[in-house]
Structures are given as C-alpha cells and as structure tokens.
Structure 1
Amino acid sequence: MSAAGWFIVLLALVGANLPFLNQRLFAAVPLKAAKKSGWLRIAELIALYFVVGALGFLLEARAGNRFEQGWQFYAITFALFVVFAFPGFTFQYLVKRR
C-alpha cells in the first residue's frame, strides 16, 4: 500500500472520531448548546465521510489510475468509516466520568 493509501486510512480514522471527541461543529465552530446532540454527531460523521472520500478520490486521480466504483464500494467504505468511529463513540457515550 502506498503512502497516499495509508494517509487516507489515517485521515478516515481521525475524521470518524472527530464528531465524538469535541463539542464544536467540525471541531471549529462553537455551538450555543453546551453539548452536541446525537443527530448532529451523525450528520457530522456523514459529512466527514464525504470529505475524506473526496480527498481519497483526488489522491487517486492525482496518481493517474482512477477506477470507477459501484454502490458496493461506497456501502463498504461507509461501514468501515462507522467502525473507525467506535473508539470516539465509546469515549463519548460509554465511558463513565466523575
């Protein structure tokens, strides 16, 4: 696997956990509410999936060997993105805090 491939995997891991590790929208925009809702986290997760996918598409096109993908590819990569989000979800919702 090339360096660009590992970069996309690392970026996907960070992007999938980003909605769960902070209380800001896309880690930049402060919200009026003290805590983000679960629906907002899911929407942010979906948006970050498309951002990471677009960056992967650009890196693949830049390498010169862009391949057409079917719906199966996007279903599998979204499922993998959700699996990557598990550590952040666990930290946010399952770890008890004092």
Structure 2
Amino acid sequence: MQNLLLIGTLAALAANLPFLTEKILFVFQPKSEKKLFFWRVLELGFFFVLVGFIARLIEGQVSPVHAQNWQFYASTLSLFLVLAWPGFVWRFFWRKPGL
C-alpha cells in the first residue's frame, strides 16, 4: 500500500514538472525566451518513462515483474496526462497579472 501511494505521488509530481519552469529538464535554457510546447510534451514523455521505470524497480523488489501489453501502457499514459492537467491549466489557462 505504501508503494502504491509513493508511485502515485511521484507520478502526480512528475506529470506537473514540465509546466513549472521555462528551463528544459530544469537545466537547459532554450534559445527562445519561452519554452515551446513541443519541449513540454517531450519532457512529459520523459517523466512518464522515468516514473514507469521506477515503478517497475519497486515492483521487482516486492514480487516478480508481470509482463504488460500495449493496453497497460495506453491506460497509464492516459492517467499520467490526467494527472498533468493542473499544471497545464496553471501554465496556459490562468491569466497572470502583467501578461
């Protein structure tokens, strides 16, 4: 149960990371002043794979790792995108004063 809570919290945080800063992966400053939406999508994919890898490592410590089909990855990607919704709304829909 604790592992599930850990993975869920990690996924929720990682899904919103691309929308928090204008730097790519918190390290590289893009050439343009603002980070393009393309970079945010790539970061989202990177964090999805990273969280999946961490979840697989945790599962391997608890029990034998089960083989997954494409349906598993499609549903987890959909859930990851739903978890990214608050960061997306904060970045693109809320009007900030002075902008």
TM over 0.5: yes
Residue pairs, 1:10-49, within 5 angstroms = 10-49=9-48
Q: Secondary structure at the match of 2:17?
A: helix
Residue number in structure 2 paired with 1:73: 72
Number of equivalent positions:
97
How far 1:24 sits from its partner (Å)?
A: 1.2
Taking structure 2 as the reference length, the TM-score comes to: 0.92
5+ long unaligned stretches in structure 1:
none
Identity percentage of aligned residues: 34
Question: In the aligned structure 2, how far is the partner of 1:29 from the partner of 1:8?
Answer: 27
Question: In structure 1, the residue corresponding to 2:39 is in which secondary structure?
Answer: helix
Asked whether 1:9 is paired with 2:5, we answer no
Give the SS at the match of 1:43: helix
Confirm whether residue 56 of structure 1 aligns to residue 66 of structure 2: no
Distance in 1 (CA, whole Å) between partners of 2:92 and 2:22 is: 13
Letter in 1 for 2:94: V
Which 5+ residue runs of structure 2 have no aligned equivalent? none
Distance across 2 between alignment mates of 1:17 and 1:28: 16
Shift of 1:45: 0.3
Deviations 1:28-47 (A, max 9, x none): 33333221100110011011
Runs of 4+ in 1 over 6 A off after TM superposition: none
What CA distance in whole angstroms lies between the structure 1 residues aligned with 2:67 and 2:56? 10
RMSD over aligned Cα atoms: 1.0
TM-score by length of 1: 0.93
For residues 64 and 2 of structure 2, the distance between their equivalents in structure 1, rounded to whole angstroms, comes to 15
Give the aligned residue type for 1:24: K
Q: What is the match of residue 85 of structure 1? A: 84
